[in-house]
Structure 1
């Protein structure tokens, strides 16, 4: 890369970050930086920003291709030490229930968690910057296909699925949505007193 091209690229990055600070505020940008530390992402080039054939997303600022957390460590309500007012994403399949701490899936935590629940394997996803939770059913009960694919210009998570990128809210993603409940841990345990709990664990993307 020529020095002039490098300087132009750095100026573009500075301009993008400045725009994010102005439009989203310092808190959101700081959360973005913390989020990116847990995932292998790079700045999207001009050709990578736009959706290609088969993709469904708005322009990207970062791209990646990394697996989520598979088969997380789960705790009983007595052992989780998660406060009852903690916000969770709750799922239940065939009488088996799991609550996922939204705080543990924020910032440096995993944004995609794949768990075998009852007769299904679900990928629980959460983008803390925009506050979007979505739970998707995997085809295979052993090997998840959903991966982290980057972030769009609104700083929302983008999925990678079979080589294509989809916005987290995309209706074109060829996966079935699974029912879930966003509530507090206390209210979830009132409905599912034997629920297991994901309260967080060390995570490195791959």
Structure 2
């Protein structure tokens, strides 16, 4: 008796089939996912169309930095405006007492409060002939005459702090010219010494007046006990002075500011001429 075998059910797998079953699936190539970076402030697409991912590109980081900065500025501005308009508390107002600071009025001008300082007086002032200077005739000057030599000092040259004291030398005679633009007042000093500039320096402003130093002695411009003798002068216009003294030279503001202030020595005691 023959038995029909079902070859379809008893097929022996071939080597090829066995190899296919146990072989490792072939590696599929990496597929790069196209991820979009959401551009800032873009009107071209909705936020849902983009995947928010970090980017190492410098342009992206800079954009975010700017965005954060502007947000902080806006928030801070809104907060400050809110605080300014929402408060009903009176504003803090700084009031300088009358008679202090720049509220002091002297001769119709604002005068400073007490301001001590140590500034050397200018020396070797440069003088010019009338032809070189070309000054208008209405300019005010301080006129000084020594023998046959005449010299004028234009008043507005004394306005800067470092030029309120001029130590000059005329015919070997030391002359120190001072001028206060608050009081519109001049004072000129001299000495019995010859051939050397005086070392008068500006002390500053004290007790509503300009004061000076000379050899550690402090004295005001109106002091009756100044350590130096006065020298006569006149305040007039350049035109009037020039009419009487056509050969006069004139000082317009140039000179030498000494590096060392010889009017005061910190190693020596200070003396007040006004207290004597």
TM-score of the pair, normalised by structure 2: 0.53
CA positional deviation for 1:202: 6.9
Query: 8 Å contact 2:121–2:199 — kept in the other structure?
Result: no
Show the 5 A alignment for 1:137-176. Answer: 137-140=190-193, 141-154=195-208, 156-176=209-229
For the structure 1 residues 121 and 16, does the alpha-carbon distance in structure 2 shift closer, same or farther, using more than 3 Å as the test?
farther
CA positional deviation for 1:23: 3.3
Alignment partner, residue 152 of structure 2: 99
Alignment partner, residue 74 of structure 2: none
Looking at structure 1, the residues matched to 109 and 160 of structure 2 have their Cα atoms a distance apart, in angstroms, of: 10
CA positional deviation for 1:94: 1.3
- Is residue 253 of structure 2 the alignment partner of residue 200 of structure 1? yes
* Structure 1 residue ranges without an equivalent (≥5): 1-13, 33-59
Query: 8 Å contact 1:88–1:99 — kept in the other structure?
Result: yes
Looking at structure 2, the residues matched to 165 and 139 of structure 1 have their Cα atoms a distance apart, in angstroms, of: 20
Looking at structure 1, the residues matched to 181 and 203 of structure 2 have their Cα atoms a distance apart, in angstroms, of: 16
Show the 5 A alignment for 1:65-144. Answer: 65-108=118-161, 110-140=163-193, 141-144=195-198
CA positional deviation for 1:108: 4.8
> How many residues matched?
164
For the structure 1 residues 85 and 138, does the alpha-carbon distance in structure 2 shift closer, same or farther, using more than 3 Å as the test?
same
Q: CA RMSD in A?
A: 2.7
More strand by share: 1
Runs of 4+ in 1 over 6 A off after TM superposition: none
Query: 8 Å contact 1:95–1:118 — kept in the other structure?
Result: no
Looking at structure 2, the residues matched to 108 and 81 of structure 1 have their Cα atoms a distance apart, in angstroms, of: 25
For the structure 1 residues 17 and 83, does the alpha-carbon distance in structure 2 shift closer, same or farther, using more than 3 Å as the test?
farther
Query: 8 Å contact 1:98–1:195 — kept in the other structure?
Result: yes
- Is residue 96 of structure 2 the alignment partner of residue 15 of structure 1? yes
Query: 8 Å contact 1:90–1:99 — kept in the other structure?
Result: yes
CA positional deviation for 1:17: 8.6
Alignment partner, residue 105 of structure 2: 24
Alignment partner, residue 42 of structure 1: none
Alignment partner, residue 191 of structure 1: 244
Deviations 1:128-162 (A, max 9, x none): 111110010034331313111111231x2101011
Alignment partner, residue 54 of structure 2: none
TM-score of the pair, normalised by structure 1: 0.70
CA positional deviation for 1:171: 1.1
